Structure 1
Amino acid sequence: MNEGFPGPDTRAEDLKAVGWVSYLLHLIVAVGAVVPGAQPGAVLLLVALVIDLVKRSDAEGTWQASHFSWRIRTVVWAGVLYVVTAPLWVLFVLPGWIAWSLISLWFLYRIVRGMVAMNKSQALDA
């Protein structure tokens, strides 16, 4: 290992603080999506997404890389699913509410699962 250059394990541990900030922002949004009337707004989610996109390259070659990909994929898929199911709100309120509730619960599950794995310093499967 080159002196002065942190190894993968050191980089992964250094990125934990960034990961916790991102996961906590995601968690606030996820809980807000599940609890009626507690919508914190998409701004927090966008901040977390930008953090993940900017710091993702720092995690290459470490177990943290899977967490950055996990969070980014979670946001992208949730966004796509919300957009695809948005017409249900216009046409039929109940199916729209059901669809968005299921998406929100899935989002919350993914964030909590990621937080648990990061707390154990474990990579995530795709």
Structure 2
Amino acid sequence: MNDDIVEVRAVDKATLDGLNAWGWVSYLLHLIVAIAAVVPGAQVSVAVLLIALVIDLVKRPDASGTWHASHFAWRIRSVLWAGVLYVLTAPLWLLFFVPGWIAWCVISLWFLYRIVRGMVAMNQQEALPR
């Protein structure tokens, strides 16, 4: 069985337009958080990230069977992995400032890359890899 095959369902234009709009709202909110994470001194509330995550979790079932589904999953996985990595590397801040700072910079850059990569694919109306 090939895991890359995704069942595609027929969806009306209004639904696709709605998924597209919600996807861009979510990507823009994620982008604000991602840029703030790599710009020294920039402060963005974690609420912005949580709003984007809630949008993704709520709208994900609507995207099932469309190329948009991969984008909702991509954003959710990006947030969850970044959160896990931040938590795992948090003790470095307490023990050694520089390694903690380096680890969080790398995680933040990775998160920014994931958001920009997703936005490029969305603009081209392409699904993202699992």
What TM-score range do you get, normalising by the shorter chain? over 0.9
How far 1:9 sits from its partner (Å)? 6.3
Sequence identity, in percent? 71
Q: 2:4 aligns to what?
A: none
Equivalent of residue 8 in structure 1, options 6, 11, 21: 11
Name the count of aligned residue pairs. 121
Give the conservation status (yes or no) of the 8 Å contact 1:117–1:123.
Answer: yes
How far 1:43 sits from its partner (Å)? 0.7
Structure 2 counterpart SS, 1:37: coil
Q: Stretches of 4+ moved more than 2 A in 1?
A: 6-14
- Any unmatched runs of 5+ in structure 2? 1-8
How far 1:76 sits from its partner (Å)? 0.2
Please give the TM-score of this superposition, normalised by the length of structure 2.
0.89
Q: Distance in 1 between matches of 2:88 and 2:109?
A: 17
Q: Report the more deviating stretch, 89-98 or 37-46.
A: 37-46
Q: 1:61 aligns to what?
A: 65
Equivalent of residue 76 in structure 1, options 62, 77, 80: 80
**Per-residue Cα deviation, 1:48-83 (whole angstroms, up to 9, x for no partner):** 000000000000010000000000000000000000
Q: 1:21 aligns to what?
A: 25
- Any unmatched runs of 5+ in structure 1? 1-5
Letter aligned with residue 87 of structure 2: V
Please give the TM-score of this superposition, normalised by the length of structure 1.
0.92
